Structure 1
Amino acid sequence: MDLITPFFEAFLLAMKATRPLAFQLLSAVGSVHSSTAEDCASLASRLSLPDTAIHETTFVPAGTTISLPDNHPSCTIPSQVSDVDICRVVFLTTTGPQSNISYEAWLPLKWSGRFLGTGNGGMNGCIKYGDLNYGATQQFATIGSNNGHDGTSGAPFLHNPGTIEDYVYRAVHLEAELGKSITEQFYGRKHTKSYYLGYYDGIVAGAPAFDFISLMYWTGQLFIKTGTNETKRFLSSAQWELVYTDIMKQCDALDGLEDGILEDPNQCQYKPEGLICSEGQSGTCLSAEQAAIVSAIFAPVRGRDDKIIYPGLQPGANSTDRLLNGQAHQYPSDWWRYVVYNNTDWDPATLDLEDYEAAMQQNPWNVATWDGDLSGSRDRGVKVLHYHGLEDNAISSHNSERYYEHVSQTMGLSPADLDGFYRYFRISGMAHCRGGTGANMICGNPETFSSYDPDANVLAAIVRWVEEGVAPEYILGSRLTASGEVDLQRRHCKYPTRNKFKGAGDPKKADSWECI
């Protein structure tokens, strides 16, 4: 399946409805196709899709708040505003005796000719309505699905291989097939370019969950290492804050500037031993056992023959509340309970190497997704823009580097050779797809700010690369003040180069840094 998996926390989306960005993106196509509300009203009668029931085709005027009473409560999306005139298509595709997939297509009446597929994150079965709106706002025919189940739990996988198959790949595959067919029926012509997942022209992959089963095992092992908050080895929030402060003390200046942001966590060989409590010490400190646990958190998880299963958490990521909170994480718990063992009583506190090996042997529909041969995508002319936040507190950014190197070695290609179709950017100061301490706003999802310039907007960047042949050399990130003004900008480097402060100039200006 090449790089394609529904586990990408990736979005080919732009920021809120903005005429300048829409104009810029459309300039490569040169024209906008317009449809009418009447075209939407008649669409249902013109659609004939296999194993699919069309629930509604509704014209939605710009500014309408769409109520979503049937959306699963865990998705926390009770409504969504449509910022432009759209034809909203709601449909259900049956994939097996006990499995089906819910879809929505938002078709803007003013259309650029482009098609956009959107995805999900984690084990979610939640249509990303914000993504549909932003895609439509940028005049993309946009489609999304619930991945074959409703809500954020993996419970629907229990004794239901059809739903697992939907989740692993089929929902995305059918999203492309059905979405493109609906697009052609509505507008009366085929799309010109397509973006995101599947057999598309351009892909933006943000914080992707490559090597999925290993990721689940690593996530579960963090709980095994730290224990619950009732164990002596458990680190409190105050102790983790002590660790994070110590990491910055040891490593922040390695990029040439002490600013609370690590430009390359690989340079940080963190040693927590200085935090071990001395005899009779009062205040916050670590026991020797806790210091060893901290080192283990930042080290790879290994299997038999000391082989690396998954890299450690990168220094600089604050995962106190997410992965190190003393509770078993839902995703690995759900995977082993509802997929691997079909046993709701399985205890995540018992997760061990044999459980990992059982899951890898099962590997339904190649959910592991660790194929380093992207020649199929390359030969079709597909472009891949891959990025990962270096403060990611859910998926180790080290794994994206590991995947890039895996592709390089598998295909026998140098970074210069890979540049023709696959480029990876490390985003310093970005947490899991959004947020963080640095210049993390690159328009990778609808909650983030970015310039309309393709150098600073990952959606515009992939469009320019695919349609004009201009590949991104860097991604310009921004950070805003509380009042919405740009406070910090940095050009995030194309891997394997890294950012370093030049030693002079305003460190908040991108020109004061260089990729080396």
Structure 2
Amino acid sequence: MKVSSIVAFSGLFLLPPAAALVPLKFINDCVNFATGFANENTEVLSSTYVLKGTVIPLPDSCTLAVTARANFCRVKLKVTTSSSSQVITEAWLPTDWKNKGKRMVMNGNSGWGGCILFEDLAWASGLGFAAIGHDTGHVGPVATGFSNPEVWKDWVYRSVLVATKAGKAATNHFYNTPLNKSYFIGCSTGGRQALKLAQDSPDEYDGILAAAPAAYWPNIEVSEAIYAQAVGTEGSPTYLNQAQWEAVDAATMAQCDGIDGVLDGILENPAQCDFHPELMLCGPGQTWLLNGCLTLAQVQTVKKLYAPIYGNHGRYIYPGIVPGAIPSQGMFLKYGPFVGGGPKDFLRYVVFNDPSYDLVSQFNLDTADLMLDNDWSGAHSNKSDLSGLQASGNKLLMYHGLADVAIPPEASYRYYNSVSLNMTLPPSGLDSFFRFFPISSLGHCAGGKGAGYVGGPSQVQLYPGAADSVPAGNSALMSLVKWVEQNEAPETLRGYKVGLLGETLGQKDHCKYPLKMTYKGSGNPNNRGSWKCVKID
């Protein structure tokens, strides 16, 4: 192990009030973290004591700044994974770790990674966890570095494993006490990482939280490439602008909102919605500006996006976008002028290693077969045999927003049911180690119209006030902790409808699959007492 730089705490003897009760030993141990620290292929870049309430600038991140929610030691590590690749890992080690359960949590990534989710590190360290994050082996949210196969391997699987080892070593070294329990939480790409750990490394974490997991890779990239061609660029006949997509959502609600028994702008079970965009078709002489209708080409676009995707010879590729999801976060624009970041980069820097590859003009279903038939260093995380996890005694909690436009929730239903079939276990047989919670109104990881804040990964950055207003004990993370440490298996996940300032506007207890949320027939739909869990018919 090599030490390149250690950043010392500058106010060692003039401590402000926030640090008045912090032992000087903690601060000195932080400044001198590198002394005696050893982990394979790991270099300590810095160790800095940070006060609660400090606004931490993050010039090399996807986040401008974050506010510390605890007094902690911030340790930055570099783990070399090959002669041409490395993973940057951060460990945020709070002062109150030992009396908060001596736990560690690894925070997953989003998209193409390259960004540590510092908001999640601040949130978790504020709860007393040793919070660990990493950059997946490259810098920034783009995929240009994947032309190096070693960097791609880091993104697929290696970065999580080496960051896990480094994070555990850093935690044990700093506190000079073995950690009690370790947890992994992640959404989207982080959810893919979570499932991959559960499938391939089930002994690494006592509890794993997989939110909206990108399990079927590269099916997602194929589907987005097909969407890109279907929608076209802004100004093309097939393109819908934001106002038109919002009109599609309004029409969806007009046709389907009452199916669940209450008109609240939320579809509790979007699969029951048989939406007909044909009813929005312009008649002779009608236009969008005058009549709020859609052309035939635009109606066909909506139908394509809502339908399952098939490839050559009827090959099933991926579920369609769920009704009621498209405007949940404005992410429908990714299928217009901003489309291609995912599939375009994957095709350019992984599939063909050709930065000039043009998705719109060159992609076809033969390319889709090429993408689907290659292992891509094990990018899939859809293995349906979780017998290793079952034998380990560790736990997997999965949830997915039912208004998710980026990763259709049907993918998680499909994965859960594939595990059930492969292991010949009904839901009651899976319950001891694997539970799945569909979350109505939740968009992709965060956002949405209803009670979608469940205290999970990638949620605090959208609703920073919720970290203070929503009881941490009701969070998905702490539900997982209670399951692991107290054998209190969650039957529901508490969701909160959160205002712009973090205030609570409503609550709902989301049911464990295969039960479904059902309105009792009366009462305020924002009151969790107005709902119950019943068996699916």
Query: Aligned in 2, Cα 1:85/1:238: closer, same or farther, shift over 3 Å?
Result: closer
Q: Deviations over 1:263-307 (max 9, x none)?
A: 001101111111111122342212233222211111111123323
Cα distance between partner residues in 1 of 2:302 and 2:412:
22
Map 1:156-195 onto structure 2 (within 5 A): 156-158=145-147, 160-195=148-183
Alignment of 1:319-468 (within 5 A): 319=327, 321-349=332-360, 350-444=362-456, 445-447=459-461, 448=463, 449=466, 451-452=470-471, 454=473, 456-468=474-486
2:47 maps to 1:57: yes
Letter in structure 2 aligned against 1:446: V
What one-letter code is carried by the residue in structure 1 that aligns with 2:516? R
SS in 1 for 2:479: helix
- Partner of 1:13 in structure 2? none
AA aligned to 2:314 is D
Distance 1:127 1:508 in 2: 34
Q: Is the 8 A contact 2:260 2:519 kept in 1?
A: yes
Q: Any stretches of 5+ residues in structure 1 without a counterpart?
A: 1-32
User: Identity across aligned pairs (percent)?
Assistant: 37
Secondary structure of 1:36 counterpart = helix
**Aligned pair 1:150/2:139, yes or no?**
yes
Letter in 2 for 1:302: Y
Matched, 1:318 2:329: no
Listed as ranges, the matches of 1:104-119 within 5 Å are 104-111=90-97, 112-119=101-108
Deviation (angstroms), 1:404: 1.1
Matches within 5 A, 1:291-310: 291-310=299-318
Q: Is 1:492 aligned with 2:515?
A: no
Q: Distance in 2 between matches of 1:305 and 1:421?
A: 38
Matching of residue 278 in structure 1 with residue 286 in structure 2: no
Q: How does 1:80-229 map to 2 (within 5 A)?
A: 80-111=66-97, 112-158=101-147, 160-196=148-184, 197=194, 198=197, 199-229=204-234
Cα gap change, 1:80/1:502 in structure 2, threshold over 3 Å: closer, same or farther?
closer
CA distance in 1 between counterparts of 2:299 and 2:170 reads 57
Q: Which stretch of the first structure deviates more once superposed, 120-129 or 289-298?
A: 289-298
- Counterparts of 1:83 and 1:429 in 2: how far apart (Å)? 29
Alignment-derived partner of residue 9 in structure 1: none
Q: Distance in 2 between matches of 1:83 and 1:238?
A: 39
Distance (whole Å) between structure 2 residues aligned to residue 414 and residue 362 of structure 1: 32
C-alpha contact 1:126 1:151 (8 A) present in aligned 2: yes
Go from structure 1 to structure 2 and tell me whether the alpha carbon gap of 1:63 and 1:245 turns closer, same or farther (over 3 Å shift): closer
What is the DSSP-based 3-state SS (H/G/I as helix, E as strand, rest coil) of the residue aligned with 2:110? coil
Give deviations 1:160-202, integer Å, cap 9, x for gaps.
1110011111110011111111111111121110001541011
Residue aligned with 1:358, SS: helix
Deviation of 1:329 after TM superposition, in Å, equals 2.2
TM-score by length of 2: 0.85
Aligned with 2:37 (options 47, 62, 66) = 47
Preserved contact between residue 34 and residue 109 of structure 1 (Cα < 8 Å): no
Q: Secondary structure at the match of 2:34?
A: helix
Q: 1:368 to 1:34 in 2, by over 3 A?
A: farther
Secondary structure (helix, strand or coil) at the match of 1:106 reads: strand
Give the letter for the 2:315 counterpart.
Answer: K
**Cα distance change on mapping 1:285 and 1:339 into 2, 3 Å:** same
Question: 1:106 is matched by which residue type in structure 2?
Answer: W
Once the two structures are TM-superposed, the CA of residue 356 in structure 1 deviates from its matched residue by: 2.0
Alpha-carbon distance change, 64 to 504 in structure 1, aligned in 2, over 3 angstroms: closer
Distance 1:333 1:178 in 2: 33
Return closer, same or farther for 1:480/1:41 CA change in 2, 3 Å cut-off.
closer
DSSP 3-state at the match of 1:279:
coil
Return closer, same or farther for 1:109/1:453 CA change in 2, 3 Å cut-off.
Answer: closer
* Number of matched pairs: 479
For 1:61 and 1:280, how far apart are their aligned partners in 2?
66
Relative contact order: is structure 1 or structure 2 higher (C-alpha 8 Å, sep ≥ 6)? Answer: 1
SS at match of 2:377: helix
CA distance in 1, matches of 2:33, 2:241: 57
Q: What is the deviation of 1:435?
A: 1.2
